[in-house]
Structure 1
Amino acid sequence: MADGAGDRMLEVVPIASGTVTVCWRPSRQARRISMRIDPASGHVIITLPRGARKADGLALLRAHSAWVAAGLSRLPPATELRHGGTVLLDGIALEIRHAPEARRGVWLEDGRLHVSGAEDFIARRVGAYLRAQAQVLLPARLRLQAEQADLRPVQVRLRDTKSRWGSCSSDGTIMLCWRLVMAPQEVQHYIIAHELAHLRHMNHGPDFWLLVDRLTPHRRQAEKWLRANGASLHRIVPA
């Protein structure tokens, strides 16, 4: 079954502990077969380089089935965005309320996130609202911190990354995961400071961490929060 992502295909595969959904990912750049667990979907992604056989990928999967089962068991449950559920914005839990007769799209009022239109579109509309908030809030907060630190990123981009909350390229472009908008502002402040520090130190050496600690007082608190809750942000299904 195709999953709509180019050449990628989804397939349910039996392993010793039950079944897993494998996403086959052909790659012209890869030099060897590799395997990882996608924390958002819970799929096992197997990358096949040119000329590799699916049978070789299945052999890798079954040889490491215990590792796969353990990794999947550690994932938090997927969170659907639905009426009566909650979603985080700046670390604050907002109840999602369906307002089918309204014509206002999605709006925040009285600590609740109200969603108009058909119930089937709640997840899509809340997801779009969160991304829109991220597009406004995260770049503005990064630019403010950069100005305060006298640092000058070239540009800011938002993506839906799976393994990193942010990155800084050698040309000064900073990338942030849009899902950070759901984390507390102290966590955002730390991640932004971390990436800004890379504008001066493209490594994680002692000077880098000294600069991070000068740019934010929230490092320890944010790292603790991300260890406890970061995976849950990736398991939110915005449709």
Structure 2
Amino acid sequence: MPVIPGSPPVEITLRRSPRARRFSLRVSRLDGRVTLSMPARASEREAFQFALSQEDWIRRALKSLPDVPPVAPGAWLPVEGVPRLIMPGEGRSVRLEGESLAVPGHADQVPARLAAFLKVRARDRLAEATDRHAAVLGLGYRSITLRDTRSRWGSCTAEGGLMYNWRLIMAPLPVLDYVAAHEVAHLAEMNHSPAFWAVVARLYPGYQTPRRWLKTRGTELHAFRFGS
């Protein structure tokens, strides 16, 4: 991954596109990722030179982004919708202690350890919710996969493979439960027809409220950075 030197250095994600006719840059407002789309036959050297020529624009765009909540001791991190204070901990595992998250190890290890903790907790919660909703419909599913997608909170394949964004564990539990109901409903209706929404309403009456939360506040969950 090319890097523009400076303070701070800026990583550039290159993306080849057969449809691209020229170089174009995008700075994500979700996580600050800088993506350079390039024609399929262009060289990486040309792409990097273009990025260098646009360094001032890139840094201005990055500077205009909202402040990123730190994931470090002394900061707050939501777990199941409740803000938790990150504190130094003992032992080998992250522990949820009331309104605190006790994280062992050096401060540099805190983001990665918290990400691992959240993923395990997300899988447990999502598996339970998925099993519960699937049982109501009398349907099975093939698998559950966790990812960190920016474009969607969940998906369902025709083969019954369910994907969820693990960051849902930072949202209030009703939001996580709604997403599980939404994806399980696709096991019965692989569309977003009125019939599909009727299934969602059967599994999660009042789903409109958590759905609205995701639309208005979901981007807040993407703002937390846990490292590469």
Pairwise TM-score range, normalised by the shorter structure: 0.7 to 0.9
Aligned length, in residue pairs:
217
> CA 1:121/1:205 → structure 2, altered by over 3 Å: closer, same or farther?
same
Q: Report the Cα distance in structure 2 between the residues aligned to 1:205 and 1:57, rounded to whole angstroms.
A: 47
Equivalent runs, 1:4-23 vs 2, <5 Å: 8-11=1-4, 21=10, 23=12
Q: Report the Cα distance in structure 1 between the residues aligned to 2:181 and 2:63, rounded to whole angstroms.
A: 31
Letter in 1 for 2:196: F
> CA 1:147/1:48 → structure 2, altered by over 3 Å: closer, same or farther?
same
Aligned match of 2:37: 47
Aligned match of 2:125: 137
Aligned match of 1:174: 162
Please, what TM-score do these two structures have when normalized by structure 2? 0.80
Alignment RMSD, CA only? 3.1
Letter in 1 for 2:14: R
Structure 1: 5+ residue stretches without partners: 1-7, 14-19
Aligned match of 1:190: 178
Contact map agreement 1:86 1:94 (CA 8 A) in 2? yes
Q: 2:19 aligns with which of 13, 26, 32?
A: 32
Q: 2:111 aligns with which of 123, 127, 130?
A: 123
How far did 1:182 drift?
Answer: 0.9
Contact map agreement 1:38 1:162 (CA 8 A) in 2? no
Q: Does 1:165 align with 2:153?
A: yes
Q: Does 1:110 align with 2:110?
A: no
Per-residue CA deviation, residues 48-99 of structure 1 (Å, 9 max, x unaligned), is 242136469959x97xx7xx95x985x5432221111111111111111113
Contact map agreement 1:186 1:222 (CA 8 A) in 2? yes
Contact map agreement 1:190 1:218 (CA 8 A) in 2? no
Q: Report the Cα distance in structure 1 between the residues aligned to 2:185 and 2:208, rounded to whole angstroms.
A: 16
Please give the secondary structure, in 2, of the residue aligned with 1:114: strand
> CA 1:55/1:93 → structure 2, altered by over 3 Å: closer, same or farther?
closer
Q: 1:84 aligns with which of 74, 94, 97?
A: 74
Q: Report the Cα distance in structure 2 between the residues aligned to 1:211 and 1:118, rounded to whole angstroms.
A: 47
Please give the secondary structure, in 2, of the residue aligned with 1:163: coil
Aligned match of 1:212: 200
Please give the secondary structure, in 2, of the residue aligned with 1:236: coil
How far did 1:22 drift?
Answer: 6.5
Q: Report the Cα distance in structure 1 between the residues aligned to 2:216 and 2:15, rounded to whole angstroms.
A: 33
Contact map agreement 2:129 2:181 (CA 8 A) in 1? no
Aligned match of 2:88: 98
> CA 1:133/1:57 → structure 2, altered by over 3 Å: closer, same or farther?
farther
**Relative to total residues, which structure has the larger strand share, 1 or 2?**
1
Q: Report the Cα distance in structure 1 between the residues aligned to 2:220 and 2:213, rounded to whole angstroms.
A: 11
How far did 1:123 drift?
Answer: 1.8
